[in-house]
Amino acid sequence: MPHRVAVIAPTPVSMFNVAIPEMLFGKVEVDGRPGYEVLVCSAEPGPVSTTGGLDLYVRHGFDAVREADTVVVAGTGAPFEPEPRIVAAVREAAAAGKRIASICTGAFQLAEAGLLHGRRATTYWAHADEMRRRYPQVELQGDVLYVQDGPYVTSSGYAAGIDLCLHIIRTDYGAAVANEVARLALVAPVRPGGQTQFTHTPLPPERGTACADTRGWAMRNLDKPLTLSDLARHAGVSVRTLTRRFHAESGVSPLQWLLHQRIERAKELLETTTLAMDQVAAACGLGTADSLRAHMVRRTGLTPSAYRAQFSRHGTGAAAVTSSVA
């Protein structure tokens, strides 16, 4: 018998989230037979509104959840309003020992059901702070693609649901099957869940202009070993005054701001050039290839070489994926 998967569609549901499990699980064949049976369900069969303004006609109710081996809760445009019947359904599924997964904001339904209390989990990065506020018992991993803790698997936003489904396929049928599905679906092979979401990580919004000229000057001189004294000298103030003004305007210290800009420049060079690692490190002021590696691993979870292999926009490199929809 194929492994049965019930995909729960909250209201309003993300059609992309609903399509991901069907697209990937539907491509699994084992000895010439389907590896999965996928049913989309809702609390009440019939039209379900979507985040795109369309209605999705869902044929199955929560009987599909009770008969499933794995339950996947899709993301919704109303993540802070968990649906009581979905919450009850996933609680019942958990009590029956089923594997339960969520894509994007579907994690809020699992958290509301208490399934993630004391467990590691993730959700779409833009809503991570709200999940921490609402569910402090959850050990939220805010910048990873997906997390499995026991029978519960949660993914971050949008396309990270692809990674979650490939992870489930690999768990059930092995890496060769999962990678074949990835090839058929024209998506990246199985990626480790601990890889970061590669969201743009902006600094706090600037709230003043007193240090604007110095920030611009520093951006033009990132290849130089700038110090606090250098920045203060350019601004024509003491180090203490610079630090106070800089933090008031940028929300961070001058050196924190400078390191952020250096790493962002390094990522840009890795994506758009074929410079050697020592050259990249020198061009963004990080000194050596070893220093570049340490900062890139800390910020992205990948070495510079691995980051370039995945995100290069130069020559035959892989297409860049720099938005928040990792």
> Six-digit token pair at 205?
């919004």
Q: How many CB atoms lie within 10 A of CB 74?
A: 26
DSSP bridge pairs for 189? none
Give percent of the chain with pLDDT exceeding 90.
60
Could you read off the pLDDT tens digit of each residue along the chain, which spans 326 residues?
899 999 999 999 999 999 999 999 999 998 899 999 999 999 999 999 999 889 999 999 999 999 999 999 999 999 999 999 999 999 999 999 999 999 999 999 999 999 999 999 999 988 999 999 999 999 998 778 899 999 999 999 878 899 999 999 988 988 778 888 988 887 766 555 555 555 444 444 444 466 788 888 998 999 999 999 999 999 999 999 989 888 887 777 889 889 988 988 898 898 888 999 999 999 999 999 999 999 988 877 788 998 888 767 654 333 333 222 23
Other beta carbons within 10 Å of 145: 26
Q: At what angle do helices 175-185 and 160-173 cross, to 10 degrees?
A: 140
39's enclosing H/E stretch is: strand 36-41
Task: Identify the H or E element spanning 33.
Answer: strand 33-34
- Exposed, middle or buried by CB within 10 Å (0-12, 13-18, 19+), for 201? middle
Cα–Cα dist 154/77, whole Å: 17
Closest listed residue to residue 43, CA positions, set 4, 3, 79, 73: 73
Strands, E, within 125-172: which ranges? Answer: 139-140, 146-149, 152-155
| 145 Cβ neighbours under 8 A, 6+ residues apart | 122, 155, 156, 160, 163, 164, 191, 192, 193, 194, 195, 196, 197, 326
**Confidence (pLDDT) at 292:** 95
- What is the spatial distance between Cα 279 and Cα 223, in angstroms, rounded to a whole number? 10
